[in-house]
Amino acid sequence: MTRRVIAQGTFDILHPGHVHYLRDAAALGDELHVIVARRENVTHKRKPVLPDRQRRDMVDALGAVTEAHLGHREDIFVPIERIRPDVIVLGHDQHHDADGISEALAARGIDCEVTRASAREPAYEDELLSTGRIIDRVLEERADGSGRKRDGDRDRSRDEDA
């Protein structure tokens, strides 16, 4: 019997923390299905920068992932009911209440375990494991406040013509 695992998140800018989370989740079963939150449903933090489909496609390209799905617009449990997981793995620092999710699943007749992935510590001093920190670093390093590129930044227009 195939053991299905679900992981979920925003995945705005993929980083090593996401890869760790998804590998951790994949290790708990035979199939890993990832539900990527739709921009309109993200209310606990800033909205994602990247479009829904792009974020889904990036997650789907990862080797640990069997299939990535966009979340449902009105009811977050619709894809869970369709996939019928054995395990739902929450990120180690996600805001979700595992007990609350377990109760909501039971009320819908979905019998599955809810657990959390392990934390991943940075492998080296300046490794960034947060989308917010990556965005902050990009703004610090690339912008001079005027929106123009700084001296020393690569001219990306040449890359686009190639």
**DSSP string of the chain, one letter each residue:** ---EEEEEE--SS--HHHHHHHHHHHTTSSEEEEEEPPGGG--SSPPPSS-HHHHHHHHHTSTT-SEEEEPPSS-TTHHHHHH--SEEEE-TT----HHHHHHHHHHTT---EEEEPPP---SSTT----HHHHHHHHHHHH--SSSSPPTTS--HHHHHH-
CA distance 102 to 111: 9
* pLDDT, mean of residues 113-140: 92
According to the model, what pLDDT value does residue 96 have? 83
| Whether pLDDT at 43 is above 70 | yes
| Prediction pTM value | 0.84
Least-confidence region, from 8-12, 16-20, 136-140, 142-146: 142-146
According to the model, what pLDDT value does residue 45 have? 86
Is 44 among the annotated ligand-binding positions?
no
Is 77 among the annotated ligand-binding positions?
no
* pLDDT, mean of residues 31-46: 93
Is 10 among the annotated ligand-binding positions?
yes
Is 15 among the annotated ligand-binding positions?
yes
Confidence band, pLDDT 50/70/90 cuts, at residue 146: low
* pLDDT, mean of residues 30-37: 98
Is 33 among the annotated ligand-binding positions?
no
| Whether pLDDT at 115 is above 60 | yes
| Percentage with pLDDT > 70 across the chain | 88
Is 69 among the annotated ligand-binding positions?
no
129, 15 Cβ separation under 8 angstroms:
yes
Average pLDDT, the chain: 88
| Whether pLDDT at 149 is above 80 | no
Is 11 among the annotated ligand-binding positions?
yes
According to the model, what pLDDT value does residue 143 have? 80
Domain 4-116: assigned CATH number: 3.40.50.620
